[in-house]
Amino acid sequence: MQLDRRSKISLAVVLALSLPGIAWIVYLGGGTSAGSINLFYVPIITAAIFLGDMPGIAVAMVAALFTLIIPHDVKTGTPTSLQDVVLLASFFYGIAVLSARLSAQFQMRAAELASLLEVSRTISAALRLDEVLNAVAQKSAEILDVRACVILLFDQSREILEYGASWGLSPRYLEKYPLPLVASRLDQQCLQGKAVAVADARFDPIFPHREKAVEEGLVSVLCVPLVKAYQTMGVMRLYTDRRHKFTASEHRLVWGLASIASLAIENARLYDDIRKNYWETVRALTRSMEAKDPYMLGHAERVTSYSLRLAQQLRISAQEIEALQFGAILHDIGKIGVADHLIASRMTASVTEQTLIHLHPLIGKSIVEPVEFLREAARVIASHHERWDGTGYPEGLTGEQIPLLARVVAIANVFDHLTTPGPDRRALSHEEALSALRDEAGRAFDPSLVEAFIASFGEEAASVPAGAS
């Protein structure tokens, strides 16, 4: 158990005061020949466990000195022989050292378990494979206090190791991946199911690309396989920047981390499979809706593509990307609840009919909101027809009241309408459509997002005239 400095000082004082008290009890009990002599073990063991080796030994030696002045038998006055004192001192010393070492072992195992629990909790909060791998690499490097960590995934069909995630390695070093398995004896041995340690990667021929290890400042390496249910998923490598012999404790900890990582990778892959199945189901649903109107065929997928183009320019998080992707593909799902003839005759619809049409974002939100992982996508669906100046529908939100992802989809949605021919309109070129978006920046659209969208078209954007915002 770890104590703070103040607690250690307090405990040391208590133990120091307890020794003469125990000596007095031993004296009253009849001398060192009586069973009360065993009371000295209490402060010795306590000091060794809570204060460490040296304090435990110090208490043991002081206890031995007290036995020197206590008679062997108080009634007869027989003194304790030097031989008995030495024997007791040896016992006291052995108990102190043994208690301290056992305590250290227990504390080390407890720290290992706490570390594994921390990693398990961190990883369990992540579902996407890239998030899982990054969390494992970072936590492994931090817990083992090493320079860097990399996780490589094994592609059995191509016999290569693909980059999964890393912590503490430069982009230049990572350029060597993917790595053919035939080029790495280290990974060949590791994938056979055993941990492989390299004392100095700069000179050991078993390590691939030794010159890169020199450039990166990597020295010792420990490589362990990632295995789940007899299936080898890849390897995890840990690097130090100085010669280091990995201890048995470190080996145990690395194997524990590798086991957690393997399970997490399998779960993340299952999640990705489920997500892909959901995605294909959603795509099929939107296609079936669009099949009723040849002019709308492919609209949802194009809006999704344009939305992701803008998202890449904005560098939003992976979690937001997922919500955007589903929100964009499903942005018109609410039209299921609107009669086909109303949608087709939008330009000539009455006020009442227009009101019904304007309800489709809310209908779409109500359809997908019960699905837990589509909660964020539901906000996109509900607000993709809002306008920056507050004249949109269904709620009349203004500016940044409109969710960011909904603002992204609004731009992508209009851009696709402008560049796709309809029964009463021609398709604009990209340059013309981008110019039209810029004209509406500050009224219909978030001005900063319009500029980012235009910038995402690269050279095409150069010919777009600057407009009022």
Write out pLDDT tens, residues 419-439: 998 777 788 999 999 999 999
Between 82-86, 100-104, 167-171, 410-414, the lowest mean confidence (pLDDT) is in 100-104
State both tokens at 201. Answer: 């990667």
pLDDT at 151 over 80: yes
Find the angle CA(331)-CA(337)-CA(342) to the nearest 5 degrees.
95
pLDDT at 247 over 80: yes
Rounded CA gap, 409 and 380, in Å? 8
Using 50, 70 and 90 to split pLDDT, how confident is the model at 459?
low
Architecture of the structural domain at 291-463: Orthogonal Bundle (1.10)
Which of the listed ranges 206-210, 292-296, 462-466 does the model predict with the highest average pLDDT?
206-210
Neighbouring C-beta atoms of residue 53, cutoff 10 Å: 16
Write out pLDDT tens, residues 298-326: 899 999 999 999 999 998 888 899 899 99
Q: Is 117 helix (H, G, I), strand (E, B) or coil?
A: helix
Write out pLDDT tens, residues 61-112: 998 888 888 888 888 888 888 888 888 889 888 888 888 888 776 776 666 5
Q: Which amino acid is at 251?
A: H
At a CB cut-off of 8 Å and minimum separation 6, what does 318 contact?
A: 128, 130, 131
Using 50, 70 and 90 to split pLDDT, how confident is the model at 125?
low
- Residue ranges per domain, the chain? 5-120, 129-268, 291-463
Domain 129-268: homologous superfamily in CATH: GAF domain (3.30.450.40)
Using 50, 70 and 90 to split pLDDT, how confident is the model at 343?
low
Q: Model-level pTM greater than 0.75?
A: no
Alpha helices, DSSP H only, in 229-317? 248-290, 299-314
Rounded CA gap, 354 and 33, in Å? 104
pLDDT of residue 462: 52
Residue with tokens 């035939």: 182
* Residue among 388, 392, 410 at smallest CA distance from 331: 410
pLDDT of residue 142: 83
Give me the chain's average pLDDT, please.
84
Rounded CA gap, 57 and 59, in Å? 5
Using 50, 70 and 90 to split pLDDT, how confident is the model at 264?
confident
pLDDT of residue 11: 85
Residue pair 144/117 in contact by the 8 Å Cβ criterion? no
